[in-house]
């Protein structure tokens, strides 16, 4: 009997410890979000969203160029990674047993684990040394490379989830195989793929390391994709490591903007999953 009680006590303790670990892990999340909201709200204003940075020493100014830059970089990345990722995902799902699909799937998995900074180095060697200047194009390219494997893998997963009966119905009606894939399978899987894309965008929107030596930074508007461009993550980094209080305030405000975008994407992706996609 005593032994039975010990076992129950051990069971209770382990379960309590596991719960404790979960709560402990959420502490930093609460703290980060709390500080970003409280400190960031102070620096956030209309001017912050619409004006260029002021020279050091002058109060005010904003980060409109960094916001524009981040939008531009993410747009370039998305234009590159979404078509390529979706199509390669379709290949991985439709020809999943071929040896080449296995290789490509494996490479995608490995690629999603390599450090983002090495992708920056790669694009530096590929684009920046060739064109001899930093550019939004190079930055967007490196973000696109980071997006590609995750878009491909989520597309694959969701295409595989489409019931076989839908494919059979389409083929039975006389559709050719490729039309069935594009018009039936891909359309059915679209909400899930959209979720994957949103999460991938949320992830690359906050990437800093690969931008340091591809998109670089810019205190002004960048006129074209061939110029160095500012971005929110790089701006947060430069302002946070500076010794000026005013810049720290702006870094918190920029962090608030960035976090809001990322959270919004994550939450809406979550809602779409809850509503439309049956997993």
Partner 1 sequence: MSRLPAIPVQRRDSRLRVGSIGDWVFRRITALFALSIVALLAGMGFEMARASALSVASFGFGFLSGVNWDPVHRSFGALPFVFGTLLSSLLALLIAVPISFGIATYLSEFAPGAARGPLGFMVELLAAVPSVVYGLWGTFVLVPWLRDSVEPLLSSCCGGLPFFAGPQHGFGMLAGAVILAIMITPTISSVSREVLGVVPLTLREGALALGATRWEAVRIAVLPYARSGLFGAVLLGLGRALGEAMAITMLIGNRAEISSSLFAPGYTMASVIANEFTEATEDLHLAALAEIGVLLFLITVALNIVARLLVWRVGRLAARGEA
* Binders of partner 1 in range 108-137 (CB under 8 A): 108-111, 113-119, 121-122, 124-126
How many Å apart are CA 65 and CA 51, to the nearest integer?
8
Asked whether the beta carbons of 97 and 177 are under 8 A apart, the reply is: no
Rule CB under 8 A: is residue 145 a binding residue for partner 1? yes
How many Å apart are CA 117 and CA 209, to the nearest integer?
5
Q: How far is CA 139 from CA 129, 151, 177, in A?
A: 13, 18, 38
> Between 64-94 and 245-275, two packed helices, what is the crossing angle to 10 degrees?
30
The minimum distance between CB 59 and partner 1, in angstroms, equals 20
Rule CB under 8 A: is residue 201 a binding residue for partner 1? no
Name which of 21 and 79 has its Cβ closer to partner 1. 21
Among 45, 50, 98, 224, binds partner 1 (CB under 8 A): 98
Of 113, 75, 35, 50, nearest to 205 by C-alpha is: 75
The minimum distance between CB 223 and partner 1, in angstroms, equals 21
Name which of 65 and 252 has its Cβ closer to partner 1. 252
Question: Residue 207: exposed, middle, or buried by beta-carbon count in 10 A (0-12, 13-18, 19+)?
Answer: buried
3-state secondary structure 224-263: CCCCCCCCHHHHHHHHHCCCCHHHHHHHHHHHHHHHHHHH
Segment near partner 1 (CB under 8 A); pick from 9-17, 44-52, 57-65, 188-196: 9-17
The minimum distance between CB 165 and partner 1, in angstroms, equals 11
How many Å apart are CA 74 and CA 70, to the nearest integer?
6
Segment near partner 1 (CB under 8 A); pick from 41-49, 52-60, 188-196, 262-270: 262-270
Among 135, 154, 181, 218, binds partner 1 (CB under 8 A): 181
How many Å apart are CA 184 and CA 134, to the nearest integer?
42
> Between 186-205 and 136-161, two packed helices, what is the crossing angle to 10 degrees?
140
State phi, psi for 53 to the nearest 5 degrees.
Answer: -60, 140
Rule CB under 8 A: is residue 41 a binding residue for partner 1? no
Q: Kindly report the length of the chain.
A: 279
* Binders of partner 1 in range 147-176 (CB under 8 A): 148-149, 152, 164, 167-168, 171-172, 174, 176
Segment near partner 1 (CB under 8 A); pick from 43-51, 55-63, 71-79, 231-239: 231-239
Rule CB under 8 A: is residue 45 a binding residue for partner 1? no
Name which of 25 and 59 has its Cβ closer to partner 1. 25
Rule CB under 8 A: is residue 37 a binding residue for partner 1? no
Rule CB under 8 A: is residue 48 a binding residue for partner 1? no
Rule CB under 8 A: is residue 38 a binding residue for partner 1? no
Rule CB under 8 A: is residue 18 a binding residue for partner 1? yes
């Amino acid at each position: 009997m005593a032994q039975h009680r010990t076992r129950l006590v051990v069971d209770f303790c382990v379960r309590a410890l596991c719960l404790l670990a979960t709560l402990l892990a959420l502490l930093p999340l609460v703290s980060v979000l709390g500080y970003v909201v409280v400190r960031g709200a102070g620096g956030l204003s209309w001017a912050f969203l619409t004006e260029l940075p002021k020279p050091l020493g002058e109060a005010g100014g904003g980060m409109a160029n960094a916001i524009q830059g981040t939008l531009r970089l993410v747009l370039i990345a998305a234009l590159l990674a979404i078509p390529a990722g979706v199509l390669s995902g379709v290949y991985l799902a439709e020809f999943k047993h071929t040896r080449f699909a296995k290789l490509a799937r494996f490479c995608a998995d490995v690629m999603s684990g390599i450090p983002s900074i090495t992708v920056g180095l790669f694009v530096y060697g590929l684009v920046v040394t060739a064109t001899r200047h930093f550019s939004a194009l190079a930055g967007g390219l490196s973000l696109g490379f980071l997006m590609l494997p995750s878009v491909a893998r989520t597309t694959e997963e969701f295409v595989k989830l489409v019931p076989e009966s839908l494919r059979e119905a389409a083929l039975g009606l006389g559709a050719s195989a490729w039309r069935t894939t594009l018009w039936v399978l891909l359309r059915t899987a679209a909400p899930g793929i959209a979720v994957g894309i949103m999460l991938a965008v949320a992830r690359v929107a906050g990437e800093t390391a690969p931008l340091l030596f591809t998109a670089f930074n810019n205190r002004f508007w960048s006129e074209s994709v061939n110029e160095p461009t500012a971005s929110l993550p790089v701006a947060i980094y430069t302002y946070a490591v500076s010794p000026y209080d005013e810049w720290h305030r702006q870094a918190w405000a920029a962090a608030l903007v960035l976090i809001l975008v990322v959270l919004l994407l994550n939450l809406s992706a979550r809602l779409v999953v809850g509503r439309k996609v049956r997993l």
